[in-house]
Amino acid sequence: MSHHVSSHLYKWNAGPRRTGHKPDIGVTMKHKISVVLAVTLAALLAGTAPAQAGAQTTVTLEAAASDHDVVTSAATTKVILDTDLRYNTDDMYTLMFLLQADAAGYIDLLGVTTAPPGVRTEVEAQMGLSMLEKVERTDVPLYVGQDRPLDGRWYKDSDFVEMWNLRLRDNMKADLDPNSEVDYSSMQLGGQYDPATHAGVTTKAQPEPAWQFMTKQVKKYPGQVTIMSIGAVTNTALAIKHDPNFAANTAGIYYMGGVTPEDGSNGSGSFNWGSDATAVNVALNADFPKQVLIPSEIANTVKLTKPVMDEIVAADTPVAELLKDVAYPVWEANPQRVQSFWDAVTPAVLMIPSITDRTAVRYMTLADEPGPFLGVIRQWTEGRQPAHLNPIDVVYTVDNDEYWDFVTEILTTNYN
């Protein structure tokens, strides 16, 4: 990347405003970050820079030197990450991405909340706390979310699960039998749970439930908090139900989930959205100022490969060390491995809206009644929608080169 030298840390330019229901996934200002040198350019040109032996030029980085059109800053963009967090998943990379963006000054990461449908949310919390300790970011609080879908149906009725051939996850089995004692140390939950990986974790999850944390932060920072929903939408739906003003007082919500064909035909809820269709509908019908969806099939076009991993783990940062320890062995064993980055696309769309060159407004709802159509997404194009539905800005492309350029810069820079 080429680096700009500027006398101003932030350069703001007016950007396009939303008119009608034209897709708008950015803010109205364009934020370009430049390096600020302690020795001014004028002094360098005049030859008056310190010349004594051992003198050093101090470079202060409030954010990464970047040619990317970043539209966010910590002063204006506060983020709550709602995630079904596990090791060696796209959720783990999303957390690392946001922690580094927070350190760079691109966003203010207020906290992490655990959500279905990965594994039990308390197990996700333990993994998340382990990650935060390993990368030395225990300043970011973590809150445990609700395990059960909003209506509880999948968990309460094993006959229902079997009738519709739904996958009975381990966390469902535990809830179906409330008297069962589940020994997680003997289970391979999602193939990701290794008790030794986070043995000895001393950091504690926060005592209040995830939804309550969400509502408190939105009241504290009205109009500034973006909900980044990369798991089931259960916690967000609970926040909406407990606080009727919650959605309207956020800056908006960004989802990764669902399969929504660009031609406007019906789609499906996929892993994230399909696990709690009722909660998705609560959120879609709420009065968020902005709703942005990165569909699963679009996020799936962004692939992590070994050359990129090689570059990341070569850096001298706590994040690189974590990835080297817990993720890189898989790539060493299989250099041809390709991993879909799914959820980790979401932060880039928030920070650099120009990373996509094709979006469209859609109106949608999920089938949330028991039956063969459970989780099916019905969507409408502009002008054909039922009057009560809200516009959703749907992303249909991601510039892979721009994305990986930005991600590797973020993950390999030491901001301390």
* Domains of the chain by residue range: 72-151+178-412
pLDDT tens digit at each of 416 positions of the chain: 333 322 222 222 223 323 344 455 554 333 344 333 333 333 334 444 433 333 322 233 444 445 789 999 999 999 999 999 988 899 999 999 999 999 999 999 999 999 988 777 888 888 899 999 999 999 999 999 987 788 765 444 454 445 444 444 444 444 434 343 434 333 333 344 555 566 678 888 998 999 999 999 999 999 999 999 999 999 999 999 999 999 999 999 999 999 999 999 999 877 788 888 899 999 999 999 999 999 999 999 999 999 999 999 999 999 999 999 999 999 999 999 999 999 999 999 999 999 999 999 999 999 887 666 778 899 999 999 999 999 999 999 999 999 999 999 999 999 97
Q: How far apart are CA 410 and CA 338, in angstroms?
A: 21
Record the pTM: 0.80
CB-based contact 195:123 (threshold 8 Å): no
The class level of CATH for 72-151+178-412 reads alpha beta
Q: How many angstroms separate the Cα of 98 from the Cα of each of 134, 192, 253, 264, 345?
A: 15, 21, 15, 32, 11
Q: Which amino acid is at 25?
A: I
Please name which of 27, 65, 123 lies closest in space to residue 412, comparing C-alpha atoms: 65
Query: What value does the CA radius of gyration of the chain take, rounded to a whole number of Å?
Result: 22
List, in order, residues 6 or more apart from 356 with CB less than 8 Å away. Answer: 25, 349, 395, 396, 397, 398, 399
